Amino acid sequence: MITKLTITPCNVDDTGTVTSVRQGEKFEVQLNPSDFKLGQGIKYSTENVLGQPAKAPKFKGSEDETMSFDIVLDATGVVEDSQDIMSQIESLNQVCYKYVGDKHQPNVVQLVWGSFKFNGRLTTMNTNFTLFKPSGEPLRAKIALKFTNYISVKEEAAKTKRSSPDLTHLVEVKAGDSLPLLCDRIYQNSSYYLEVAKVNGITNFRNIKPGSRLNFPPLR
């Protein structure tokens, strides 16, 4: 038996955590995609201080993962259990595109194909109608879908390391510390010392006293 790719709406609790999929609500493709793409990206900071030489890009965090693929809908009768194209598109819309009133956003969905599983939200859906009856009714369509990975705030916090430059740090100054040295330790870039000095109201960055506590803000 062929296992087909399915897209199912998820139940999400008040914390934003996916708890289960909704029974009886799903979209199952007629024909499995010939392939699919998983996208990953990395964010870097390239901010430089005026007058200083260019710095190597510094790691800031990871981009949201994405999943994209094409599906074919057919109503010619060649594919078993063919339905008219617009009904199939409406079923797909109900699962992952339509705005859900009580949630004030589209569904979080789970994509499952064999052992592969991906929780996400639809970001783009482009439909190309490729075959028609003489009356103009579509008989075949190719739909390009792209989903962005969904994780809850709690899961995101657990994933993010406390040393991340995207988080505010409160640091106690120790003997021998300097502002450029602390910036290098936290941001891996000493050139942020002027911005940190401004945030903390420091007029002379060379004069920071041991025992004082400084805020190191998230990188922009």
Interval 155-196: pLDDT, tens = 665 555 544 556 667 888 888 888 988 888 887 788 888 888
Residues forming CATH 2.40.30.200 domain(s) in the chain: 6-158
Q: Quick count: other Cβ atoms within 10 Å of Cβ 82? A: 15
Domain 6-158 maps to which CATH number in 3.30.750.24, 3.90.25.10, 2.60.40.1930, 2.40.30.200? Answer: 2.40.30.200
Look at residue 219 and tell me whether its pLDDT is greater than 90.
Answer: no
Q: How far apart are CA 98 and CA 109, in angstroms?
A: 12
Tell me which CATH code domain 161-216 carries. Answer: 3.10.350.10
- Distance, in Å, from the CA atom of 179 to the CA atom of 173, rounded to the nearest integer, reads 9
More confident residue, 11 or 155: 11
Q: Where in the chain is the domain with CATH 3.10.350.10?
A: 161-216
CA-wise closest residue to 83 among 5, 27, 18 = 27
Question: Can you list the alpha helix ranges (DSSP code H) found in 133-207?
Answer: 153-159, 179-187, 193-199
DSSP SS3 for 50: coil
Which residue, among 209, 211, 160, 218, has the nearest Cα to 186 in the 3D structure?
218
Task: Quote the pLDDT of residue 66.
Answer: 96
- Cβ(219)–Cβ(60) below 8 Å: yes
Q: What is the pLDDT of residues 13-32, one digit of tens each?
A: 877 788 899 988 899 999 99
pTM summary value: 0.68
Report yes or no: 95 and 25 within 8 Å, Cβ to Cβ. yes
